[in-house]
Structure 1
Amino acid sequence: MTTPERLLSDALSTDPTRPLVTYYDDATGERVELSVATFANWVAKTANLIQDELAAEPGDRLAVLLPAHWQSAVWLLAAWSTGLVVEPGGDPAAADLVVTGPDTLDAARACTGARVALSLRPLGARFPAPPEGFMDYAVEVPGQGDRFIAYQPADPGAPALVTDGMELTGAETVHRARAAAERMGLHPGARVLTGRGWEDWEGLAAGLLAPLAAGGSVVLCRHLDRLSPDELDKRRTDERVTHSV
């Protein structure tokens, strides 16, 4: 049995220089591309933040109030690296900690545990002024270590993901990701373009887990509806997209 963060480790050992996550925000014009190695470095720093600064422990529940975004992908893999149970769109009041974007700060205040806020500004910039009651992720993460070693390795049989009313273990999450990759016809080197949110399994699988399980990569597009059909076709060509969701 394996766990989601092992999929990233496998990708890192296979080809660390290839693109893994390419992110577009068509409301701002932002484009960010992260190689496997760069993405893994962000994951390690974030996992150290979770483990050491937030003092989170395996089994703690993380409510993720974030859109499909490259930093959201980092948080999911970092959370699984530390053994947390991730719930995209989860109830902050029922969570041990919460990570939120700027549009959901009020809802996130229902969490009585640690609260982390992301500005979601281009290049992962800080908030102009830190939100009251929240740790500003962009302020805290740069100083974290580039290598992560879990005090307690994630258990493949322990809960890892809550989505669509299901609670999946780490091993079940990987199994479903591989099944989704096979169903989508993904292969090593496949490049998936998607504009779906991550509120359900299908969106999460298309936007992160299935490409990762297949040895492929993802082109995440926020506000994709702002593109004309011709602009979308051009992006598919420019980004060498093999599959669209």
Structure 2
Amino acid sequence: MNATDRTPADLLRSALAADPGRPLVTFYDDATGERVELSVATFANWVAKTANLLQGDLGAGPGDRVALLLPAHWQTAVWLLACSSVGTVADMAGDAAAADVVVSGPDALDAARACGGERVALALRPLGGRFPQVPEGFVDYAVEVPGQGDRFVPFSPVDPEEAALIVAGREFTGAEVVERARRDAEGLGLTGPGSRILSGDGFETWEGLSAGLYGALATGGSVVLCRNLGEVGEEALARRIESERVTAVVR
């Protein structure tokens, strides 16, 4: 975190410069038993590859709208930061028909077909696995992203005062995302580097995004992002909190 950071992508660059090896996102899916831990460096590499896919292969640029029909998931977090890197508007659970690009999980493919632009499908399988068969009318993210470049440079500078995020019908600039995430941090229990928040909230609200991604990124902390947390009993959750060294919990 740096006082001059104005966009979520800036926050990620600062985190990478400060301590690339520390954990940033640890993801659990309690319906499948999946656990994935991504360091700042690994997460940033996924973001760079995804931003190159978005800007290069999909032809998206500043101001274009990217509808993200995705649950709270580590790959969703990657796409949010990739959109910030390119300068596109990430529209969480947005109207695919109004989007230039749609990115869909397996449960939202029918809605995603309303997009007249580029369509990307995510299988959301463990270890970033592919679809057994690519959905018709889509490209498979897991097929397309590995060959993308590990370094990303936007074709046009990203303006922090332009729209960057739409969630629950409200639009935020990149600068507003950073400022609000910093304001939220204390209430979430994120007190600075070393803070580790466990979140079971979805990404369909600002509060879920703040607890599950932006708050940790804005404070030098990390997040344990849990999907299907209702599958976990209280004793198992307590063990996870202890083993993951969680310092704050949002459910």
So what's the TM-score if we normalise by structure 1? Answer: 0.99
Aligned position for 1:160 = 164
How do 1:1-245 residues align onto structure 2 when only pairs under 5 Å count?
A: 2-186=6-190, 187-245=192-250
Cα drift, residue 53 of structure 1: 0.2
TM-score, normalising length: structure 2: 0.96
Could you tell me whether the CA contact under 8 Å between 2:23 and 2:38 is conserved in 1?
yes
User: After superposition, what is the alpha-carbon deviation per residue over 1:192-213, rounded to whole angstroms, capped at 9, x for unaligned?
Assistant: 1011100010000000000110
**What is the one-letter code of the residue matched to 1:89?**
A
**Superposed CA offset, 1:155-200 (max 9, x none):** 0111001123321111011101111113223121110101110001
**What runs of 5+ residues in structure 1 fail to find an aligned partner?**
none
Q: Is the 8 A contact 1:81 1:153 kept in 2?
A: no
Aligned length: 245
Taking the aligned partners of 1:103 and 1:183, their CA distance within structure 2 comes to: 33
* Aligned alpha-carbon RMSD (Å): 0.8
**2:134 aligned counterpart, secondary structure:** coil
Following superposition, which runs of at least 4 residues in structure 1 exceed 6 angstroms of deviation?
Answer: none
How much has 1:244 moved relative to structure 2? Answer: 0.2
Q: Which runs of 5+ in 2 are unaligned?
A: none
Rounded to whole Å, the distance in 1 between the matches of 2:186 and 2:155 is 34
Give the partner amino acid of 1:189: G
Contact 2:189–2:247, Cα closer than 8 Å, also in 1: no
Letter of the 2:212 counterpart? G
In structure 2, how many angstroms separate the alpha carbons of the residues matched to 1:84 and 1:177?
19
